[in-house]
Each structure stands twice: as structure tokens, then as C-alpha cells.
Structure 1
Amino acid sequence: MTSLAGFLLASLALVAVPGPNLIYIVTRSVRDGRRAGLVSALGVETGTLVHVLLAVGGLAALVTDHPLAFTVLRYAGAGYLAQLGVRTLVRCPSPAGEGQPEPARRRLLRVYGDAVLVNLLNPKVVLFFLAFLPQFVPTGLSAGDTRARMLVLGAVFLTVALALDLCYALLGAALTSRLRGTPRGQRRLSYAVGGVYLALAALVFV
């Protein structure tokens, strides 16, 4: 129980630290509103679930054990973030509001898919789960018990992360609701969000 409580506190502290996943959720909710923010949170944590399963199955270690594969993952993640930034700037709302808006369902599916990829292509998340989960697994367990323990810890982390992500999404949407109500405000938000994505792409290599 003590170990689980320690893992819970550590998870809270780690999730609260701003990173690409959290910043992506906040920027989505800031620019596109509450629904987009909530959907992006679900997408990010879908990626987290995949990371947990890869770590439990030992597949994530294969990436870190091969420098070329890890380098490719880093470049892919940076490239995708840069592509998001450029796409946001290019699709910035025009002053007169020309063009047909993207259907809501398609837009939310895009938001979800982007969120999953932002998480999956973040090499620091791979390293995080490889280094973090094993610290809270007792030594001397069988291989099956070790995997079961890591799955439980992964579920706890996923629950904590999703709860905090949803809170950040709601907060970001609430704080910028007035700006999204005007074309000029939407353009400003789009410029800001696009710049954030491009900055995140650069920070992948830091």
C-alpha cells in the first residue's frame, strides 16, 4: 500500500510538470474550445496506454537499445510537431471568415489522432516508462507477476494523468472563451498555438 501511495504521489508530480502532451492539450482547448481539449486529452492518454503496454511487453526497451531507432523516433516526433505548427498557421482564420469550416466530427477525429501521435512520437515518454515503472515493482517477483504489477501501476498512472489532463483542458477553454468568440481573437490564438507547436518541435532535441 505504501508503495502504491508513493507511486500515486510521484505520478501526480510528474503529470503536473508541463511537457509536450500537456501543452498540446492546453493549446487545443485554448484555440478550439472545450470539446477539442477533452478529445485531445483522451487521445494523449490513448497514447499513454500504448506506451504502458509496450513497456510491460518489453518492446519499448528495443527502441532505447537501438540508437538509430531512437533517433528516428526523435526526428519523427519533432517533424510531426513542426507540421502541426505550420498547419495551424496556414489554416489561421481569415479576417472575412472565407472558406467552409471543417465538419465538427472530422475535426474532432483529427484532434484525437494528432494527440495520439504527439504522445507516441515523444521519445522522452518511452524513456519515462522504462525508468519509472520498474522502480515501484518489488524485486524477486516472477515474470508474470512483474508484468501484472506494471499493468496495475500503468492503470493508476493513466487514471491520474487523464483526470489532470481533463482539468487542464476545461481550464484552458474557460480562460480563452472570449477570444475565440471573435475572428481577431481566433487569429491571435492560432498564431500563438502555431508558435507553441514549432517551439515544442525544437525542444524535442533539448
Structure 2
Amino acid sequence: MSTPEQRFTEITSLEELRELVPDPLPVARDKERSALVEVDRAWLEASPFCLIATSDAEGNCDVSPKGDPPGFVKALDEHTVAVPERPGNRRVDGFRNVLSNPHVGLLSIIPGRGDTLRINGRARLVRDAPFFDDMVVKGHRPVLALVVEIDTVFHHCAKAFLRSHLWSPQTWDEVGAGVPSRPRIAKMVDRPEESLEELERYYGREYSARLYG
């Protein structure tokens, strides 16, 4: 019996890759910028959610979701943005990566929009700064922030969101019907020693009450 790897036809060079995916058009190739412009700032002010990609010095990767009221990713100047840290699972996977490899990527999303804003840069962890006072939410001042010095920034088209119908509410019940609820997933793989009733309570009102606590 053959293994999956034996059935793969692998691409091992840029030349092979370009045989399948031709060079981008100039409008796509040249849209990267090194500084924020007015429309980028407006986007960040409207966005309540972003994904932050990091990797450690050995190349082990992580992508972490970050969410807060719109505008939580602060443009400090045309070359710098900052992302506040909020209470979470305390794994700090991405932050540990940044300590050994500062290169990060941000994908900023606005609900209902298919296009996105992409920022790539070099990050550092900051434990206090004057702008922390502008990041207070429900009385919670962040204990640290990720400060990113921008290398490239550009807007990305909507094809992935259109193909996935991500913002089409009529598809949500159908695509998620076969996937257990978060409490049931926790019972199955994360916290099997706890009862389902305990987990449903934990991920219910109690969970929402701890967002900034």
C-alpha cells in the first residue's frame, strides 16, 4: 500500500511554482507600501478583529486571533501600530515567538467586508507607554502591547471571503451543523475530567463576564 507522501507530486523550486501560478500583474506586485496612509488608518479605526502570525527562531509558527472594540489596533504614526494584550489563556505563544524572532504578519478584518488589510513588520513587546491610557476598555488597562514597526502594508482582495461565503448568514447553520459546540469540544479533547454541565456554564455567561477581568 502506498503512503500519502508517495502519491504527492511535490513542488521544490520557484520555477516549478511559477509554471502553475504565473507572475502577478503589476497592480498586485507593486501595491505594497512601507507606511500607513489615511485609508489604512480609517480601516484600523473600524476593525474589531485581527490575526497575528509569528514564528520562533526555528520556524515554528503560530497564528493568534485578537479582538476588541473597533480601533483597538492603534496607529501610533505612519510607520508603527500597537496591539493591546487582554486576559486570555496565558500561553503567550506569539509573544514567546517575538522574543526570538521579531517578524510578524497582521491581517485586519472588518465584519461583512471581504477585503482585508495586511501589515508585515518587526515587533517588540512593550510593558508600558503613554498610549496604554488610550487602550483602556471597561476599566482594563493592558499589561503589555505588541508594537509593530511596519515593513509592508497593503489591502487584499475579497476572493477568499467570497468563495467561502464567510459573511453569508444563510450558510452558517448548514456549515456548522456537524461540529460540536465549544463546551462539547472541550469535554472531548481539552478537559475530559469536567462534566458537560460545568463546561457549558464556564463557556456561558461566566465566560463573557471574564473578558476583561
TM range, smaller chain: under 0.3
TM-score (norm 2): 0.22
Write 1 or 2 for the structure with the bigger share of helix: 1
Write 1 or 2 for the structure with the bigger share of strand: 2
